[in-house]
Amino acid sequence: MNDKMLKALNDQIREELSSAYLYLAMAADFEDKNLPGAAAWMSQQAQEEVAHAMKIYGYINDKGGKAVFDALPKPQESWNSMLDAFKAAYKHEQYITDCINKLVKQAREVDDTSTEIFLQWFVTEQVEEEKSTDEVVQKLQMIGDSKNGLFMIDRELGGRGAGSGSE
Ligand code: FEO
């Protein structure tokens, strides 16, 4: 594999693991604030991010490259509200979409068809990732300061299981 492409894929492993770190920090903050549903949602999201990293790790190995790991940035520890955290998650997913789009562009530039095809899964996945976080943002905006509404959304988020989330 082209050296720059390999480096860019390695960088994306770090981005995915950083996402896991961020979402786990959000989960911990929700746990701390007695929001178990939101905590479970974010904890599952963190696991999905690890799966994304593993997908890229596996691909690098399949192509005969070697995965090299960089340090992960320390995530924020606390958010003012559930809305603030989900807004940050949505913004983060938009950033990840941008990263994936840049990788696709790079694969095209170096004429690396297999990597371009490999990345298609991530392109589709990002549509789902943005949608699922934005949906929660919109619901939270709708309920405003209602404690009842927050309680209900937390319960709904806790029901996220097989089939309702993305991979
Ligand atoms: Fe791996 Fe949430 O993007």
Cα 121 to its chain centre, rounded Å, is 14
Cβ atoms within 10 Å, residue 130: 18
Q: Which residues does 46 contact at the CB level (< 8 Å), separation at least 6?
A: 19, 20, 21, 23, 24, 27
Residue 162 scores a pLDDT above 60: no
CA of 148 to the centre of ligand 1 (A): 30
In CATH terms, 3-158 corresponds, of 3.40.1350.10, 1.20.1260.10, 3.40.50.970, 3.30.70.20, to: 1.20.1260.10
| Average confidence score pLDDT of the chain | 94
Q: What is the dihedral of CA 97, 99, 105, 106, to 10 degrees?
A: -160
Return the structure tokens found at 125: 């996945």
CA 151 / ligand 1 centre spacing (Å): 26
Q: Taking residues 21-28, what's their average pLDDT?
A: 98
What is the per-residue pLDDT for 161?
A: 58
Whether residue 140 contacts residue 86, with contact meaning beta carbons closer than 8 Å, is answered with: yes
pTM: 0.93
pLDDT surpassing 80 at residue 131: yes
Average pLDDT over residues 31-57: 98
Residue 97 is which amino acid?
A: T
pLDDT at 63 exceeding the cut of 50? yes
Residues within 6 Å of ligand 1 by CB: 16, 19, 49, 52, 93, 96, 129
Burial 7-37 (b: 16+ CB within 10 A, else e): ebbbbbbbbbbbbbbbbbbbbbbbeebebbb
Tell me the average pLDDT across 131-156: 95
The pLDDT of residue 160: 76
In the predicted model, is pLDDT for residue 163 greater than 80? Answer: no
In angstroms, what CA-CA distances link 9 with 55, 72, 82, 113? 11, 15, 32, 14
Query: Domain coordinates of the chain in residue numbers?
Result: 3-158
For 148, half-sphere exposure in the C-beta direction (CA atoms, 13 angstrom radius) is 0
- Atom 1 of ligand 1: nearest residue by CA position: 49
